[in-house]
Amino acid sequence: MTEAHRPGRRSLLAGAACLGASWLVSGCTGAASITALPAAAPKGAPDRGGTLRIARPPASDAETLDPAGPLSAYEYLGALYNRLVRVGTDGGLVPDLAEAWEADSKARTWTFRLRKGVTFHNGHTFTSADAAYTLRHILDKATASPQAGVLAPLIDPKTLRTPDAHTLVVPLKSPHAEFPSLLTHYNCYVIPDGSGRSIGRTGIGTGPFRLDSFAPAGPGSVTAYQDHWAGRPVLDAISFASVADMSARANALLAGQVDLLSQTNLDFATARVVEASDRATIARVKNSQWYVLPMLTTEKPFTDVRVRKAMKLAYDPEHVVKVALQGAGTAGWDNPVPPDDPLHIRSHPEHDPDRARHLLKKAGHEGLTVDLHTSSYDPLFTPMALAYQDSARRAGIRVRVKTAAADSYYTQIWMKKPLMATYWYTGRPIDQLFTQIFRSGSSYNETAWSDKDFDALLDRARAETDDKRRRELYGEGQTMVIERGGAITPMFADRLVGVSRKVRGYAEHGFEFDYLAIGLKGA
């Protein structure tokens, strides 16, 4: 599984109601009922104090608090730790534990100036030794970090330098003008020097909360860290409960037993029930989930780029958004870079079923029939598949939708069947996205697409120190993914998050919220 698809990273969601063919005719609700849902959680200042109660889906019994590991307890990370660099609300990079950073003229060596006066929860002072150790821990094969595949080609851990307590120097194996963006990944939270063997249990970081208790796949809690460098958080504490069933989590919210449903994308029917209640409401996170129909480029007929192009030209993404999302999202047009990303290009091939027919005929696949595998793992998989099936029919493509079991979907279907449904959370900087999911050889390259031209272009973009030219190169990369790649991207979906009407300051970005500012009113 990918870091986004394994237990503890994803919610095990109940299937959507109304998944039959009639869904495409009338839908389960009207579009107006979706657009009427609120765009954000209740506004206003929270009261100081109180405990935020979070219900999360159960994770693996092997999950830990090691942020670098493959089974990290995601909901705890932003509370316990800080990164060197993080992504701001506008998509740009902003300081966290690093106050500033700069590269040499060739973007070969990066120097990070670290924040002073920061302490870990155990009272130890944060220094450059901790920052260097964090990178070495990620790169250590024993850690099995998902981010190692991105950083290892760039960093030799032996070359990291700490000239003083507040300076980290990172020499790179090859130029990379976007290198700091790679440190925004959740695996890159900073841990104390030498803590690799214990961090999974202790959770000692520099974050706004310190660990009280933690049980893998079970309950836990964190308490406000009074000496946090950015100030004390609004809340006194956060408690975490593990609730297996999405319906049970929603019922707990409606009953006032919890305040926030973490990693739970509510289906439309449940969202309407929650919004109509006195105790709970919906926070809508725009374009937060990128939905994909990956074609395995190593399996026929998708080894032929003409077939891949035809599969993309055959369907209308706006139809998929209207039917599968009832308007609660944005058409993807087969570009995986989110439409609100500063580097997103807006040009794309138009829906053209006649051109799709022509390409299939040239490729010897006129009247193509394909199986599209889906599951109730996510409530939007099957509606998306049925909407694609309906739209592609105009190009003479027969799509047979096959439903697989939810509990084995990401072990038996994902990256094994030639065509299936999946999704990822948005929020990755563009180089992270391209490197992790589209570069040749990446373990997360779910289409197994290997294109030497794309890899070379990515290398050129990384080495380009002129911002305008680098932006153009990343734009060319998007065009190559659209025209040659195996990822059909019909849509970016708004995520519907259930929250208590007492919650204030909930603003999600990159599937994280601000642990410092969130709080409760009248708690």
Percent of the chain with pLDDT over 70: 92
* pLDDT tens digits, 212-271: 999 998 999 999 999 999 999 999 999 999 887 788 899 999 999 999 998 777 878 888
The predicted structure's pLDDT at residue 378:
84
Tell me the whole-structure pTM to 2 decimals.
0.85
Q: Does 208 sit behind a cis peptide bond, omega within 30 degrees of 0 on the bond before it?
A: no
Residue 11 domain-assigned (yes or no)? no
Residue that finishes a domain, picked among 170, 197, 224: 197
275 pLDDT higher than 50: yes
Residue 72 domain-assigned (yes or no)? no
49 pLDDT higher than 60: yes
Distances in Å between the Cα of 316 and the Cα atoms of 173, 224, 301, 323, 351 are 43, 49, 21, 11, 5
Same domain (yes/no): 237, 274 = yes
Same domain (yes/no): 239, 146 = no
Residue 165 domain-assigned (yes or no)? yes
Confidence of residue 495 (pLDDT cuts 50, 70, 90): confident
Q: Can you tell me whether residue 290 is helix, strand or coil?
A: strand
CATH of the domain at 360: 3.10.105.10
Same domain (yes/no): 482, 425 = yes
Give residue 301's Cα distance to chain centre: 29
Give me the residue label for tokens 């809690």.
221
Residue 138 domain-assigned (yes or no)? yes
Same domain (yes/no): 470, 353 = yes
CATH of the domain at 176: 3.90.76.10
Q: Are 260 and 25 in contact (CB under 8 A)?
A: no
Domain count of the fold of the chain: 3
Element (H, E) at 286: strand 280-294
Same domain (yes/no): 210, 93 = no
The predicted structure's pLDDT at residue 36:
67
Report the pLDDT averaged over residues 431-457: 94
Residue that finishes a domain, picked among 197, 225, 243: 197
Distances in Å between the Cα of 495 and the Cα atoms of 4, 13, 103, 264 are 15, 13, 37, 9
Same domain (yes/no): 421, 383 = yes
Find the range with the poorest average confidence among 223-227, 370-374, 428-432, 461-465. Answer: 428-432
Report the pLDDT averaged over residues 84-101: 91
Percent of the chain with pLDDT over 90: 73
Q: Are 372 and 401 in contact (CB under 8 A)?
A: yes
The predicted structure's pLDDT at residue 206:
98
Same domain (yes/no): 275, 303 = no
Same domain (yes/no): 420, 323 = yes
Element (H, E) at 98: strand 98-103
Same domain (yes/no): 225, 320 = no
Give me the residue label for tokens 């563009």.
430
How many Å apart are CA 48 and CA 239, to the nearest integer? Answer: 16
Residue that finishes a domain, picked among 197, 217, 249: 197
Residue 8 domain-assigned (yes or no)? no
Report the pLDDT averaged over residues 77-91: 91
The predicted structure's pLDDT at residue 42:
82
The predicted structure's pLDDT at residue 183:
96
88 pLDDT higher than 90: no
475 pLDDT higher than 80: yes
The predicted structure's pLDDT at residue 343:
93
* pLDDT tens digits, 376-428: 888 889 999 999 999 999 999 999 999 998 888 988 999 999 999 999 988 88
Confidence of residue 30 (pLDDT cuts 50, 70, 90): very low
Residues of the domain holding 240: 42-64+203-286+498-520
Report the pLDDT averaged over residues 78-86: 96
Residue 16 domain-assigned (yes or no)? no
* pLDDT tens digits, 124-137: 999 999 999 999 99
Residue 488 phi, psi dihedral angles, 5° rounding: -85, 120
Residue 50 domain-assigned (yes or no)? yes
Residue 12 domain-assigned (yes or no)? no
The predicted structure's pLDDT at residue 246:
80
**Stronger pLDDT, 17 or 322, i.e. the higher one:** 322
Same domain (yes/no): 331, 478 = yes
Give the other-Cβ count within 10 Å of 366's Cβ. 11
Find the range with the poorest average confidence among 88-97, 163-172, 200-209. Answer: 88-97
Q: Can you tell me whether residue 331 is helix, strand or coil?
A: strand
329 pLDDT higher than 50: yes
The predicted structure's pLDDT at residue 129:
98
The predicted structure's pLDDT at residue 34:
58
Same domain (yes/no): 449, 354 = yes
9 pLDDT higher than 90: no
Same domain (yes/no): 418, 323 = yes
